[in-house]
Amino acid sequence: MKKKGRKPQYKRSRAKVEAPVEDEPAAIKNAPHTFVIRRGERCASIARLSRDFRRMMEPFTATHLRERRINKVKDFVHLSGFFHVSHMCVFSLSSQTLSLKIIRMPKGPTLTFKLHQYTLAKDVISNTRKQFVDDECFKTAPLVILNSFSGEGKHLKLMASTFQNMFPPINLSKIKLSSLKRCVLLSYNPVSKLIDLRHYSITVVPVNLNRGVKKLVTRNIPNLGRFEDIADFVEKGHLLSESEVDDEEAHVVLAQNLKCGNLAENQSSLRLHEIGPRITMRLMKIEDDLMTGEVLYHDYIEKDAIEVEAIRKKRAQQRKLKEQRKHKQEENLKKKEKDKEEHRAKTSNQTKSGEITEQDKKLLKDAEEAVGDISDEDDREYYRKEIGDNPDEELFESAGSSNRKRPFIPKGSNYSLKPKKPRLDKRKQYEEDDRLARQDSKRRNNEGKDLKGKGKFGRKGMKDDFRGKSKYNSGGKKGGSKKSAGKKSSKRK
């Protein structure tokens, strides 16, 4: 029985359905977005720090941004307009320092901070006594809290406005308290000029409730195996430890209802849980442009007004030269494109019409005059005088047929004064040789057939010759055997 083969499965052509493109709401488009990247030397802890910083900036950041060594800062700048990116944070590690640059896209300013200390988020959470991490709190933007940024100096105001603009603004009349689940604290020390960055998650617990009821409301129910009834658990308030006693300074009156028993116009207690990372940094300099502009502020280098003016003039001159070179390059490109189009149009018209222009006619006329009529009578007369005999006709045939001077043929013309060389096709010669070889082989085979059975040199004669030799050898052996037998018989006698 024949085995059934597997039938080929052809792919069905399905109609492609384009996914509907939904426009983002204006609130999300206008919200500040950030890129967090790292440059310089590679280090595992710095990579982890950049990921923690991205998690802190969620949800308006590229959490899964892929960066490679070949990528440059300009690549991210070009993409910033498409993704509505307003700030870019760059962690740069060198052999001496670790720095953080906060850039306002797309034209600056650029703030450069030197990182003195940092602690990763996993280390902060592992060292806390009660670990609390809620993934839902990262779905909304954090609340920004600035401390001691109201001192003298324009650099402080610029720092405060930069930190505030990195996060979306808050409208107090429309904000929902349930969306405020995280906060970022930035504290400036005017003596040491250090900035401490901390990241907390916010929880709210009701106040003036029995401790047992509070446990049930907040869903932190302990083990009830040692109680006979739930009333015993509610009545006994000694189950909470002293560390869980609420601080009166953290009591607030809520304006909206929240979950877990937090009602409006009732007191509740705010609790902060640090979720990291921790960063201690110091402002080093402020640049006007995108990482390469004029230095507006420097922490430990001060310059006179004369030096600043000289640097400005030098920058203006460099900028002017750059614009001139760019303008010249654009003009050269336009000129090249124009020449190419003219040449293309000229050649296309010549090939279509098949006519020669006046310039080509002049060039062809000059070429014909340069070649002229070739006559070999002078050469023949000179040969007769010197040799004393008439030359052969074959001697001057090749000289008369070839041109001594090559005429100039303009480009783009389809005419040529030089005749084309005949095509040397050797295929017929090869076929003739093969035909002769086949005839020779056929003739040899016929001669061999005629020799069969004729004379000594045929196959039959050769067999007879060998047969005679074998008879001769066998006859000699027989004769020899007879002689030996006669000798033996004589000896016996």
Given pLDDT bands bounded at 50, 70 and 90, which one contains residue 217?
low
Residues in contact with 298: Cβ distance below 8 Å, sequence separation at least 6, in sequence order: 284, 285
**Which is higher by pLDDT, 246 or 181?**
181
pLDDT in the model for residue 294:
84
Looking at 37-145, list the stretches that DSSP marks H as alpha helix, in order from N- to C-terminal side: 44-56, 73-80, 121-127
**Which is higher by pLDDT, 251 or 180?**
180
Kindly list the distances between the CA atom of residue 338 and the CA atoms of 326, 327, 345, in Å, as whole numbers in the listed order: 19, 17, 11
Q: What are 72-101's pLDDT values in tens digits?
A: 888 898 888 888 899 999 999 998 899 999
Q: What are 376-412's pLDDT values in tens digits?
A: 666 777 777 777 777 777 666 655 455 555 556 665 5
Question: In this model, does residue 445 exceed pLDDT 90?
Answer: no
pLDDT in the model for residue 119:
95
Q: What are 283-314's pLDDT values in tens digits?
A: 999 998 888 888 888 888 888 888 888 888 88
Segment 252-256 long-range contacts (CB within 8 Å, at least 24 positions apart) = 254/177, 254/204, 255/177, 256/176, 256/177, 256/178
Range with lowest mean pLDDT among 163-167, 187-191, 214-218, 416-420: 416-420
Range with lowest mean pLDDT among 134-143, 194-203, 214-223: 214-223
**Nearest to 298, CA basis, from 89, 101, 112:** 112
pLDDT in the model for residue 456:
47
Kindly state the DSSP code that residue 135 receives in the 8-state scheme: G
**Which is higher by pLDDT, 466 or 248?**
248
Question: In this model, does residue 470 exceed pLDDT 90?
Answer: no
Given pLDDT bands bounded at 50, 70 and 90, which one contains residue 238?
very low
pLDDT in the model for residue 20:
58
Tell me the average pLDDT of the chain.
Answer: 77
pLDDT in the model for residue 7:
63
pLDDT in the model for residue 276:
86
Q: For the domain 26-207+246-298, what is the CATH code?
A: 3.40.50.10480
Given pLDDT bands bounded at 50, 70 and 90, which one contains residue 477?
very low
